[in-house]
Structure 1
Amino acid sequence: MKPATLKQIAEQLNISISTVSKALKDYPDVSKKTKDLVNELAKDLNYKPNAFALNLRNKESKTIGLIIPEIVHHFFSSVIKGIISQAEEKGYLVIILQSNESYELEKKQIELLMNQRVDGILISLANGTADYAHLNEVLAQDKPLVMFDKIAKLVRCSKIVIDDRKAAYLATQHLIDTGCKRIAHFRGPLLPQNSIDRFLGYKKALEDNNIPYDPSLVYLCECGEHSFEEGKANAQKLLQDHNDVDGIFINTDLVAIGAINEFKKMGIKIPEDISIVGFSNWHMSSVISPSLTTIDQPGFLMGKNAFKQLHLEITNLKNNLPIVHQEIILQTDLLKRESTKDITAKKNKLHL
């Protein structure tokens, strides 16, 4: 049945629209008899309140915007699930937009969300974003903005991240601890902060273990929709350029899986010839052969925390309370699998 309007209810009961509205809101100046008649008829006629109009009166839209680089990426799909799990609890609609790693598209999407009068915006930056004027404009209009994963340190807003430098250090240190001495890095694009930090973590681990840093062992990946092919291409380049590499730390799992696929085709044994550590714990990482040692990046938890922080700022703004920006750093773990050497097993074999 098509939902009725306040006018239809008023006409059937021969009372004013304002009386119907007050009765539905349980105003004290409307008699119990009238309230009962209105509520009973509203139920019979399938009346539904106009949520949009109600939200406008409350100076909120109960919608938030979410801009991510890629929807199909395993990590970002986990983030979306985390955001929606919290948004549904609070009665919020999430408008999800994909920037396709484009700065220009990201700018247009910010403008679109502002025109839609969303209550706040969650964003993980596109790889091509180097100018932050569009983000600062959001904050200048007193609209809460929370960044996650790929962030800009120069934008004064809340951020939900992992310690990418520490995680990359841990990944590289694991390669060193398993006997690798010539370690390459397939890094992400030059701009995103997380890509920079993962490179710096790799470099610091080498330095702390007195392993000379060789820039020719660092290969650039855009880490977009062609990540798998980039992994294959960089694996080929690496073997052409260097025949003495025994370990690789790779910026994302999909690139790592592409590299593993190519190495296997070329007769390179993993981890006997080359050990590999990935990043993010994509769902395919545990089922490929050999299974991929990787950094577990908590996407679902990042999404939950991102929405919680945004909702807190929306609530504070509504109640004329100050917004305190937070940087929340989530824990990561190294998941040891078959793509790196098990030196414990080797020691036990020698002992026997």
Structure 2
Amino acid sequence: MASSVAIVILNYNGKHYLERFLPNILKYSEGYDIWIADNASTDHSLDWVKVNFPTLKTLSIDENRGYAGGYNEALKHIEADYYILLNSDIEVTPDWIDPVIAFMDSDPNIAACQPKIRAFDLPTHFEYAGAAGGFMDYLGYPFCRGRIFDTRDEDLGQFDDQGDVFWATGACMFLRADAFHKANGFDERFFAHMEEIDLCWRLLNMQYRITYCGKSTVYHVGGGTLHKSNPRKTFLNYRNNLIMLFKNLPKGRRWKTVLIRLMLDGVSSVRFMATGAWPDVLAIVRAHFAFYRMIPTLMKHTPRNTNRAPLYYKSIVWEYFVLGKHRFDQLSGINPKKTSATTPR
């Protein structure tokens, strides 16, 4: 029996993206359930969907609960074997679903998978949010095959493979439904940004696999809700990174790693000062104090997971900014496990 798949688009004031990309999604997703879950939008986007695509399934959430809370609420009401969490600013391509589902069907331990993410504004190159699968160094800095910091590689077929990664992007995330619910979904304290990395880390600690499938390609606009230069995004990224490290690192490494990261955040603040980006400096300070206030709760309620996740035990900051290693193939010590979609482990 074929696996059931639900495509779930979480929308917040994204009418302009729905107008542009929803017809494309419908064209290349025939036969699959498509849900629009609305996070209390004020731009009448859900009304537009109901008028123009009355057969689509919709959910209305009574307040903006961010990516984490919005999807948690929506997925309580949707039954499927697999969820595809899809940003509204994604352009899909023919046959973007089947190769990923076939790969996930090949191994019940695959909890999440992402396709190749190219940039909508530069279609020949990888996009920031996910590229060809995510990794993370031991200090909590995420990076991707095809994108390290501000360097995006051209897609020359070098990542047409499929195999294991550390995290899959939330921009287009295929999830095994029962694994998602066993992990209790996203941590709603994150609101938005890095909640998918936190989920993937927890799933890895639960002995699941996180994977990438280069046989599927989508194009991502990026920055649809918060532009990368928005201080609110800076606040969420810095705060959530600290929360994620504190939650998921083994107890013996937690405090040392967080202390180093706090100092490196200070260095990052100096870089913002040098460019006159004072709102971002203040956002980092607020992020730190928000994290400090959460420590008692994190210590009380966070399970002490054994770290089984394959962190990159070098500093990607040092490798990139000091040693000048701007491409994934220049890094040593990472050998992603590649598998065949037709051969289960």
Question: Which structure carries more relative contact order (alpha carbon 8 Å, separation 6+)?
Answer: 2
Larger helix proportion of the pair: 1
Larger strand proportion of the pair: 2
TM-score by length of 2: 0.24
